[in-house]
Amino acid sequence: MRLVLVGPPGAGKGTQAAFLSAHYSIPHISTGDIFRANMKAGTPLGLEAKAFVDRGELVSDEITNAMVRARLEESDAENGFLLDGWPRNVSQAEVLRAIMAEKKTPLNAVLEFSIPSEEIIARLSSRMTCRECGKPAEAGSTNCPSDGGELYQREDDKAEVIARRLAVYEEQTAPIIHFYRTEGLLITVSAVGEVSEITHRAIDALSRVQ
């Protein structure tokens, strides 16, 4: 299974990615993980990415695309993968299409997690994060369920910041929805409900394209 996940911040892509990658026995590939791995290893691309991060800037498409291309060449991605967080725009989607054409292994599907903006704002603005391990905790929790650490609300989980993040998503990333719909690859599932229910919906939808 060669799969791309798309959806707005707060749609639960990271959570669902973990379940789907386990279900299909494919690596979960996220740009955040790729950046951290390259910077930690001090690779040439990692050093270039770190320069952007140190300046407080987004890593350029050129570097991001090169990192993803290199990651897809690793042996664990030979029989499939799940991309989370990339592509973020139509230009990157075209790069991925070219990579897949070179490999002669097209994508199976692009899974969109659909959720109303008001649901996202309510979900994220009530989320707390552990200062120790960085894991999110449910609203109403007093301490981290993993390690008992102190909880706090991240700046980017405040309602006004979430609204701006959603606006950026609509401007920059939402156009790839139309791109993949035109390619005939888009599958949309509702991201509202219990985690297990959403996972079941996704697997059921994907079972029709294998």
% of the chain surpassing 70 pLDDT: 95
Q: Which of 38, 73, 108 is the last residue of a domain?
A: 73
State whether 46 and 8 are in the same domain.
Answer: no
State whether 176 and 200 are in the same domain.
Answer: yes
Instruction: Provide the number of structural domains found in the chain.
Output: 2
Q: What pLDDT, on a 0 to 100 scale, did the predictor assign at position 134? A: 74
Q: What pLDDT, on a 0 to 100 scale, did the predictor assign at position 150? A: 85
Q: What pLDDT, on a 0 to 100 scale, did the predictor assign at position 155? A: 66
Query: For the residues 76-80, what does the mean pLDDT come to?
Result: 93
How far, in Å, CA of 32 to CA of 197, rounded?
26
State whether 18 and 38 are in the same domain.
Answer: no
Q: What pLDDT, on a 0 to 100 scale, did the predictor assign at position 22? A: 95
State whether 23 and 34 are in the same domain.
Answer: no
Query: For the residues 166-190, what does the mean pLDDT come to?
Result: 91
Residue from 36, 40, 131, 154 carrying the catalytic annotation: 154
Residue from 50, 88, 135, 158 carrying the catalytic annotation: 88
Q: What pLDDT, on a 0 to 100 scale, did the predictor assign at position 180? A: 96
State whether 123 and 59 are in the same domain.
Answer: no
Task: Domain of residue 67: give its range.
Answer: 28-73
State whether 104 and 165 are in the same domain.
Answer: yes
Q: Which of 73, 94, 109 is the last residue of a domain?
A: 73
How far, in Å, CA of 134 to CA of 191, rounded?
23
Q: Is 123 a catalytic residue?
A: no
Tokens of 31: 């740009």
Number of neighbours of residue 95 by Cβ within 10 angstroms: 20
State whether 10 and 44 are in the same domain.
Answer: no
Q: Is 13 a catalytic residue?
A: yes
Q: What pLDDT, on a 0 to 100 scale, did the predictor assign at position 140? A: 64
Q: Which of 52-56, 61-65, 193-197 has the lowest mean pLDDT?
A: 52-56
What average pLDDT is seen over the chain?
88
Number of neighbours of residue 53 by Cβ within 10 angstroms: 12
State whether 142 and 155 are in the same domain.
Answer: yes
State whether 162 and 123 are in the same domain.
Answer: yes
Query: Would you say residue 84 has pLDDT above 70?
Result: yes
State whether 181 and 114 are in the same domain.
Answer: yes
Q: Is 2 a catalytic residue?
A: no
Which residues are CB-neighbours of 46 under 8 A, at least 6 positions away? 35, 37, 38, 39, 40
Q: What is the pLDDT of residues 182-198, one digit of tens each?
A: 999 999 999 999 999 99
State whether 39 and 136 are in the same domain.
Answer: no
Number of neighbours of residue 47 by Cβ within 10 angstroms: 12
* CATH number of the domain bearing residue 124: 3.40.50.300
How far, in Å, CA of 167 to CA of 157, rounded?
14
Q: Which of 33-37, 66-70, 159-163, 173-177 has the lowest mean pLDDT?
A: 159-163
Q: What pLDDT, on a 0 to 100 scale, did the predictor assign at position 138? A: 65
Specify the higher pLDDT residue, 158 or 44: 44
Specify the higher pLDDT residue, 141 or 20: 20
* Total-model pTM: 0.80
Query: Would you say residue 100 has pLDDT above 80?
Result: yes
Q: Which of 15, 39, 73 is the last residue of a domain?
A: 73
Query: For the residues 78-97, what does the mean pLDDT come to?
Result: 93
Q: Is 127 a catalytic residue?
A: yes
Residue from 97, 165, 181, 201 carrying the catalytic annotation: 165
State whether 46 and 117 are in the same domain.
Answer: no
